[in-house]
Amino acid sequence: MDYVERIDRVCKNVIEPNSIRVDKEGVFPHEAIAALKQEGLLGLISAKPVGGQGQDLHAAAQVILRIAQDCPSTAMVLCMHYCATAVLEAQGSDAVRTAIANGEHLSTLAFSEAGSRSHFWAPVSTAERIGDTIHLNAHKSWVTSAFEADSYVWSSQSLSQTGSTLWLVASDLAGLSQPGKFDGLGLRGNASTPIVAQNVTIPADCQLGQDGKGFDTMMGVVLPWFSVLSAACCVGLCHGILERAIGHVAATKHIHLSTSLADLPTIRAYLARAKIQTDATATLLQDTIVAIQTERADTMLRVLEVKAAASETALNVSETAMRVCGGAAFRKEAGIERLFRDARASYVMAPTSDVLYDFIGKAITGLPLF
């Protein structure tokens, strides 16, 4: 599994050294993406016949988890790229698949809309066929890697007004605009902004899958990939913040007592609970991957549970790290408050935890999800 060695090398040499600047300046992690490209990791899940690594969801989750220990912004950029790639592997052209496999093309999802909020599966934007072209109009509310990625896997209402349809949309097309730059609390380097499409024209052959069947792809491909990789990002963040917190309490001394913070039973208990929560969520993450790969009967329940559980764990563990490290955690150089801020994102990222709790409740009480 040499991709494990490659991602560890990229993290140590590029991602971690740039993580503070990415957060402080709110800049897109160009150096990290270039290094991932050089190591062949942008094409990790691309099929071998088009030049990719031919790896699976398990490998993608490992890579995301490792990156998130140092820079969740970079992890989320790659998460969205892998989600888009999973769609394109199933429904995209050989040309774009080959470009991704070769590390020459970064993609992302453009699903969430101002009109349907966190219900990403229900686009209100439109697509209209005029001759051999499609005209798109939309107000996308959040697009990771907006105007940094080369393309968007884009959702709209179907041409027939029944269901939804997916499209491959180049990011440099006329009619696409960015209302403003991202200046958020956390994940400050993932260039997540709204995108407005005003009569954007694309060739009809940019359609991904059948007209009106976008929902099937969203639920069957995108939701499992996004839930698992988002959870991997949360678990990696927990590993990263716990490592920093444990290092701090072990090294910080009460000189007059000849003890460290780690000698305090209360602090050890807080860290123990955080470690248990992290390990339990990591186990759920692995079980979810197994459920997906073996098509187990409880697969959809696990897909719904894993993001909600991981988001909650990230909130709790990051709060514990701030608590046990005290005033030192507020200093930028400790790296703890940065991950604390990043941990707030997954909970409100569509599908939000509250939406997932509702879905899980429906699933376990025998009610239809939609």
Both tokens assigned to 319: 């709060």
**pTM, whole model, 2 decimals?**
0.96
pLDDT value of position 252: 74
DSSP state, 113? B
pLDDT value of position 302: 98
Contacts of 195 (CB under 8 A, 6+ apart): 110, 138, 140, 143, 146, 147, 152, 176, 177, 178
Q: Write 185-188 long-range contacts (CB < 8 A, 24+).
A: 185/341, 185/344, 185/345, 186/72, 186/338, 186/341, 186/342, 186/343, 186/344, 186/345, 187/72, 187/73, 187/76, 187/342, 187/345, 188/22, 188/23, 188/26, 188/73
CA distance 255 to 261: 11
Superfamily (CATH H level) for 2-106: Acyl-CoA dehydrogenase/oxidase, N-terminal domain (1.10.540.10)
pLDDT value of position 254: 65
Q: Which amino acid is at 123?
A: P
329 close to 340: Cβ distance less than 8 angstroms = yes
pLDDT value of position 56: 98
CA distance 195 to 178: 5
Contacts of 226 (CB under 8 A, 6+ apart): 79, 83, 109, 307
CA distance 227 to 142: 17
Superfamily (CATH H level) for 215-364: Butyryl-CoA Dehydrogenase, subunit A, domain 3 (1.20.140.10)
- Domain spans, the chain: 2-106, 109-212, 215-364
Rounded percentage of the chain residues whose pLDDT exceeds 90: 91
Q: How many other C-beta atoms are found inside a 10 Å radius of the C-beta of residue 115?
A: 12
DSSP H helical ranges for the chain? 2-10, 16-25, 30-38, 57-68, 72-91, 94-101, 214-217, 223-251, 265-294, 299-325, 336-342, 345-348, 353-364
Contacts of 245 (CB under 8 A, 6+ apart): 271, 274, 320, 321, 324, 325, 329, 336
Beta bridge partners of 168: 153
Contacts of 274 (CB under 8 A, 6+ apart): 238, 242, 245, 316, 317, 320, 321
Render pLDDT for 171-196 as a digit per residue (tens, 0 to 9).
Answer: 999 999 999 889 999 999 999 999 99
CA distance 145 to 320: 30
Under CATH, what is the fold of the domain 109-212?
Answer: Butyryl-CoA Dehydrogenase, subunit A; domain 2 (2.40.110)
Place of tokens 């991709």: 3
* Per-residue model confidence as pLDDT tens for the chain (370 residues): 699 999 999 999 999 999 999 999 999 999 999 999 999 999 999 999 999 999 999 999 999 999 999 999 999 999 999 999 999 999 999 999 999 999 999 999 999 998 998 889 999 999 999 999 999 999 999 999 999 999 999 999 999 989 999 999 999 999 999 998 899 999 999 999 999 999 999 999 999 999 999 999 999 999 999 999 999 999 999 999 999 999 999 887 766 667 788 889 999 999 999 999 999 999 999 999 999 999 999 999 999 999 999 999 999 999 999 999 999 999 888 789 999 999 999 999 999 999 999 999 999 999 998 8
Helix axes 72-91 and 30-38, enclosed angle (nearest 10): 50
CA distance 45 to 54: 5
pLDDT value of position 85: 98
Both tokens assigned to 63: 């890579």
Q: Which amino acid is at 141?
A: S
2-106 matches 215-364 in fold: no
